[in-house]
Amino acid sequence: MRLISYRAGDRHGVGAMVDDERFVALHRLFPDLPPSLKEILEQGALSVKRIAEAIKGNEGDLRLDQVHLDPVIPQPHATWALALNFPMHIEETGLTTSKDYPQIFQRMPISIVGHREPLWCPNPAIAKTYDYEGELAVIIGKPGRHIPVGAALSHVAGYACYNEGSVREFQGHNRQFGLGKNFERSGSFGPWMLTADEFGDPKKHRVITRLNGVEKQNESFEKMLFSVEQVIHYLSAGYTLQPGDVIAMGTPGALRNPPGYVPGPNDSPRISGRTHMKPGDVVEVEITGLGVLGNPVIADPTEL
Amino acid sequence: MRLISYRAGDRHGVGAMVDDERFVALHRLFPDLPPSLKEILEQGALSVKRIAEAIKGNEGDLRLDQVHLDPVIPQPHATWALALNFPMHIEETGLTTSKDYPQIFQRMPISIVGHREPLWCPNPAIAKTYDYEGELAVIIGKPGRHIPVGAALSHVAGYACYNEGSVREFQGHNRQFGLGKNFERSGSFGPWMLTADEFGDPKKHRVITRLNGVEKQNESFEKMLFSVEQVIHYLSAGYTLQPGDVIAMGTPGALRNPPGYVPGPNDSPRISGRTHMKPGDVVEVEITGLGVLGNPVIADPTEL
């Protein structure tokens, strides 16, 4: 099942997709369900199962183009993101990272938008290198502490695509990434949560990132240094994972430019195949068997 | 005015202190006010002023020892924390940090408790070096983007004490602090928010941290590398600061042990004057003119 968080006018709701475009507005079928996916997950797996059974054969009552999509979980208690979790990305950045422990940081809700909503490219007076990062997002369903690696996937409610958009100058301002990973509307999360039963083993899937239709990243999740299970185990050593917590599993390296490629003005001078995003771009993060998260990029409209 | 967030049974509420122990439960005076301090701040400065005027002469209807205190803002949209913002702390750690940009990371709500609530010392099988960090917490009132340094303090609703408790082994696992700054119930935030009009200039105040009554930190906020104004200006370059956002301004260095001091088993072998916290300890963070945030330390009760 594919679940979305959406906004129609002032009302925020949760929907269940019946095909790639149509969905059932859950408040119509279940007036007793809470209005947010995080709260539905807090009610436990039975609520999700009940939705899946009730929408069988339903043709849907709304289309995605009739609403605005919120991030899959609009206000998670915590969003963790991994740095340097793919060998090709470590190599291209020239950075070092521990082989024993994941490198993790956090993002705040205002930095993330939903599918088809505009991303904000920073004003060039603030920063000039704004980059996509296609990633797998893991959404926690069942709370847990001290979770063994072997039981970790049973705590996952589902998966989504994540564009962990990053502002490189700010990321490099000091030793912690801080604001560079948290610019307003710099990342996206969607289009939906595909439940874990239908997604299956993350290692059998790939992430593909496209900028204006051109493939920029394409890598198997088999290449991750730390698996979903290992990261859940690691985090649960420190706190009780909460329903709706999000883990963005890190981005792979760039697909290198072919020999003879002439770099454009937005291409990274340092990393072959990386192109910074600019207003007017369209960026897509696809995960095989899951879907495509797409966003237009516009200039940050706030006045300096 | 001093505002608290508290819990009485299942009910969460906001209170206004009338002396150091008694408070007015705001839902009794203002049935129309929202039940959280974050939402009251979202309504703007007029709501806060209205409360201040209404409680004049009120003797209070509850005492702190009749309720549980929540963190001042229990579920902030974002909590920022500064690393290495005092020269003595930089020197004692031997670490480097940019002189041009603050070093910032984030904390999640489950890592923070209120005044008098127990902090959880990690199980020694997980980590052995759990440290206090006495800090000034800044609470944003008025939203804003691209805030000039000169206007920054007008965006502050108030101030509180913050114990930015840290688990050093995890902080050092990799390049980002990640989980080491986010263990469950490892930090605290309270006892109340003192409104900015009464606190005045942060630089005129000091932070004092005591472990079991012994002074371990005592430093003026004049010594901060990056001031409250500068950090607000910096963050607002990236996003629209939200009412209830929290900034923990970084911790000063340790008061060095006197010559001839014989280190105990919990003393840091690396940093003179630093003593790791253990179950049974009582830790206090005082800010002059503001109040004292005190917490007992217990062993993390979760089973491995």
Averaged pLDDT score across all residues of chain B: 97
Nearest CA in chain B to A100: B173
| B138 band by pLDDT with thresholds 50, 70 and 90 | very high
- A110 and B239 in contact by Cβ < 8 A? yes
The CATH code of the domain that includes A177 is 3.90.850.10
For residue A220, being part of any structural domain is answered with yes
> ipTM score of the complex?
0.97
For residue B304, being part of any structural domain is answered with no
Burial B209-246 (b: 16+ CB within 10 A, else e): bbbeeeebbbbebeebbbbbbebbbbbbbbbbbbbbbb
Residues B278 and B136 in one domain: yes
For residue B74, being part of any structural domain is answered with no
pLDDT in tens, A278-301: 999 999 999 999 999 999 999 999
Residue B140: list chain A partners with CB under 8 A.
none
- B104 and A242 in contact by Cβ < 8 A? no
Residues A53-71, mean pLDDT to the nearest whole number: 96
CA of A136: how far to CAs of A2, A102, A190, in Å? 15, 15, 10
Residue B172: list chain A partners with CB under 8 A.
none
Last residue of a domain, one of B69, B101, B124: B69
A2/A15 Cα distance (integer angstroms): 8
Residue A26 domain boundaries = 2-69
- A83 and B184 in contact by Cβ < 8 A? no
Residues 6+ apart with CB under 8 A from B109: A77, A78, B71, B74, B75, B76, B79
- Predicted pLDDT of residue B11: 93
Structural domain total, chain A: 2
CA distance, residue A170 to nearest chain B CA (Å): 9
- Predicted pLDDT of residue A46: 87
For residue A74, being part of any structural domain is answered with no
H helices present in B30-75, as ranges: 37-42, 45-54
Interface A-B, measured as beta-carbon pairs within 8 A, has a size of: 139
- Predicted pLDDT of residue A77: 98
* pTM of the predicted protein model: 0.98
Judged against a pLDDT cut of 90, whether residue B100 lies above it is answered with yes
Residues B90 and B201 in one domain: yes
CA of B187: how far to CAs of A300, B27, B135, in Å? 35, 28, 11
Task: Give which of A272, A270, A293 is closest to A216, Cα–Cα.
Answer: A272
Residues B153 and B280 in one domain: yes
Residues B61 and B101 in one domain: no
Which residue, chain included where needed, has tokens 């207003």?
A279
For residue A218, being part of any structural domain is answered with yes
- A80 and B177 in contact by Cβ < 8 A? no
Query: With left for phi above 0 and alpha for psi between -120 and 50, is residue A278 left, alpha or beta?
Result: beta
Considering CB atoms only, which of A77, A105, A179 is closest to B178?
A105
Residues 6+ apart with CB under 8 A from B74: B5, B12, B36, B38, B109, B114
pLDDT in tens, B192-217: 999 999 999 999 999 999 999 999 99
